[in-house]
Structure 1
Amino acid sequence: DIEMLFEDSRKGPAVNSESKVVEIKGPQKKAVFSSDDSRAIQISYNKLPRADNVKEALISYNQKQMSDEQVQILIGCWPKEFNVPDLLNEQLADGEKWEKGEEYFLALADPKIIIEKLKMWHFKSGWAYEQNVITEQLEGMKKAFNEIMHNKIFLDILGMALTIGNVLNGGNAQRGQADGFDLPTLGKFSQFKDVNGKPLIKVIIERLVVKDPEITSKWK
């Protein structure tokens, strides 16, 4: 009796073969950015500063609200194929909502100069480093030019190279005798070799050392 009593419950509820599944659709999402722009935003989204913090931080250059790294990331994923301020002209249809990237940048669509201010922030934050790099490069160039103008050993190397060149060109009316050569020619000193396969620069140094054995200690 017990088995018969619960037999129907084991079979489960009766299923109506004519019943229909009701599909519940969510809101349609609207996207206007290109696939490349959307992909860049998606990759960086979790590292972006809050949109409402961006404007406040730009007003006072507040690095507590927005870090230099976040500024760089935001500039990097800023849409390149769509003018962000034009988002304000887009309309959502009934039942539509913005894609995540478009919704984020909609908050940054006004004022139009936000991207320019971000670039200025990035330039300002990196200027001290760039200035040091440029200064070091200029100092290096000054030292190099000073060596070119005043280092006797360097001038002796150039003089001997010129002499060798003129000897090799001797009697050649087409080439003639040279009074000097362009600096890019220095790069060929290690490429041009004598009959024994010895580079020109090595030949010159060896001859200078024979002439003055202490020349290596003078080179600073």
Structure 2
Amino acid sequence: MPKKKKSKSKGASRGDSAGKEKTRKKFEFPEEAIPDYIPPPPVTGHQLLAALQSTEINEREFLGMKLSKHIFQHLTTQEIRDLKVVFDVFDVDNSNTIDLKELRRAMKILGFRVSRAEVKQMMADVDLTRRGCLTFNDFLALVVERQSDSRDIFDELRQAFTVFDLDNEGKITLHTLKRLCREHKVRLSERELRDMIREADHNGDDAVDENEFIGIMLKTNLF
């Protein structure tokens, strides 16, 4: 009969594995491979914020709307406010836009020497989406482009307001209008004078301030 092979004892196998563990070397990173400083992981949104901060913003918020920085390079904030008054006068449907007919009237009010064909071309140049209307930003861009062709209508209207503001109170009252009528011998009834104030008075104080005066003058072309 063939002789049985002697199996290795458990102790021998443990000894062999122990010997292997003794010979196995532990891996260590070389010191020169470890950086002196390891930055923390970026906070969520940090990269987006950094990109926004490094990118020049081409718009500025004013009067509750975003306007191009190009506008502020050519118009003062007071001029922009004045032009908003004109724009709102012709934006009769409160759509925040004006059409070709309204644009032509607005340009005429501002004293621009432009023909019907020129206004139509101006509209086409700015209205790239062919909507048939212009936003306030578009309107300002046209004003900046034709700035040298206009007269300072707002300065004229402010001077006219001072003529009516006899008491230098910054408003025109019924008493003021009666006094002017007497001095210039104009025959208007008190009812007619009240109607004039009511037409221009938007804040309900029974008087007409400078902005309201400019607005009604632009609306009715009384200059």
TM-score w.r.t. length of structure 1: 0.24
Bigger Rg over Cα: 2
Structure 1 or 2: more helix by fraction: 1
